[in-house]
Amino acid sequence: ESEKRLLAGSVDFFALNYFTSHFVKAAPVGAPKDQLYEEFLTDQEGRYPGTPSDVFWQFSAPDGLRSTLSWIGRRYQRPEVWVTESGVASPGESAKDRRNLLRDMHRLDYYRTHLGSLCAAVTKDSTNLAAYFAWSLLDAFEFSDGYKARYGIVHVDRTSQQLQRYPKLSAYWLSHHFFRWALCFRHNLSATNTKMSTNLSASACHLLTVNVRPQLFSAQCALCIGFTLSSLRTAGPHPAGFAGPHPINLVLCRH
């Protein structure tokens, strides 16, 4: 009991990885004590919980993110929450040529809808959100799916000797949608609109913490932005209509 009292309220933050939602129901009578529920990919009418992805277990279910965040807030008295991973493997991306795989509308829509639900959790459900990390910056090795399932907002050409990087459309969408006001160091915007502190590391990567006025960012969700900008080896033209800064790993921080 003394240890319980010492531990109560000692957590720094609640880290959550959210990718999808599934259907569940109570475990049947006689099930092992450690089986709390049964899990299903479809409901009784054979419907998925959301739009399918490139892996059998993942569906785009943004409402599940808001529900999970809201439950955490109610259950644990509004702890500081970090969404430490969230992203999607776009269907059939590994089989597409470069031109088509860079137009990853499925992934773009995933981030658009999930960030909308995240903002609803903050503004309507009083979620104490501190950060959101997009998974992932680069196409990587995904455990049993290997290189087939691709989560990156930047494509890695593994057929090239230098592993050339190509930003996908979702990367430009994230960059323009969230960072257009934060990138005043590129566009020489007035310092009265943003406050910025910069730490330049030995590897020439900039670590910036940017406090953006809510009216410049979103009328519905007052978030500021913290992010890491690193050098990317890119090639080829930008997608049509996206002639802006290179994408970066996304972190949203509540202000």
The answer, yes or no, to whether residue 79 has pLDDT greater than 70, is: yes
DSSP 3-state helix, strand, coil percentages of the chain (rounded to 5)? 25, 25, 50
Map residue 115 onto helix, strand or coil: helix
Map tokens 């959210």 to a residue.
Answer: 18
Element housing 225 (H / E): strand 223-229
Upper half-sphere CA count for residue 128 (Cβ side, 13 Å): 14
| Best CA proximity match to 193, nearest among 180, 202, 177 | 180
At residue 179, the pLDDT reads 62
The answer, yes or no, to whether residue 198 has pLDDT greater than 50, is: no
Map residue 45 onto helix, strand or coil: coil
At residue 250, the pLDDT reads 38
Element housing 8 (H / E): none
- Give the tens place of pLDDT for each residue, 21-64: 999 999 999 999 999 999 999 999 999 999 999 999 999 999 99
- Give the tens place of pLDDT for each residue, 126-183: 999 998 889 999 999 998 899 899 999 999 999 999 999 999 999 988 887 766 544 4
At residue 10, the pLDDT reads 84
Amino acid 233 reads R
- Tell me the β-bridge partners of 131: 82
Span 223-231, mean pLDDT? 32
The more confident residue out of 204 and 210 is 210
- Give the tens place of pLDDT for each residue, 91-124: 999 999 999 999 999 999 999 999 999 999 999 9
Average model confidence (pLDDT) across the chain: 75
The whole-model pTM stands at 0.72
Q: Is 215 left (phi over 0), alpha (psi -120 to 50) or beta?
A: alpha
What is the Cα–Cα distance from 163 to 156, expressed in whole angstroms? 6
